[in-house]
A = this chain, B = another copy of it.
């Protein structure tokens, strides 16, 4: 992984539809070496896939919330069960075990407050070990990106 690879990652994060020729031009590389590097990044698992980005509002997902969850039964079984549920629910965009006041922070989307409330009450609140749930509903999206900054060296 050198600086050309990192530039390639930056470009592909911005626009995955770039052809090898267009990509190569931006990197001062011709088609084949460009293609070889790209394939290498894919085979190594640095590039994990290509996806279309969708406007959340356009598909009716008007609500996004951060959910802070505290767990009061600290057994592996409770954690495994909770995490399996979270992974299986498509409305949960992300879930992280975190330091600080909460045990888990989740990002959840829903079409409106009703649907969100349903999810909290009927799914999350029902899980064993869930001691408290605190929601922070997004009032405004200041920034939303699924692009990582690529460090100059790694």
Contacts and interface: CB of A to CB of B under 8 A. Distances in A.
B97 A138 contact: yes
Contacts of A153: 60
Given A59-B6, A91-B149, A96-B138, A111 B154 contact: yes
A100 B9 contact: no
A127 to B, nearest CB: 13
- Oligomeric state, in number of copies? 2
19 contacts: A1-B59, A9-B59, A44-B58, A46-B54, A49-B53, A50-B52, A51-B53, A51-B146, A59-B150, A66-B96, A87-B142, A93-B148, A94-B143, A96-B144, A98-B136, A100-B134, A102-B136, A105-B136, A109-B149
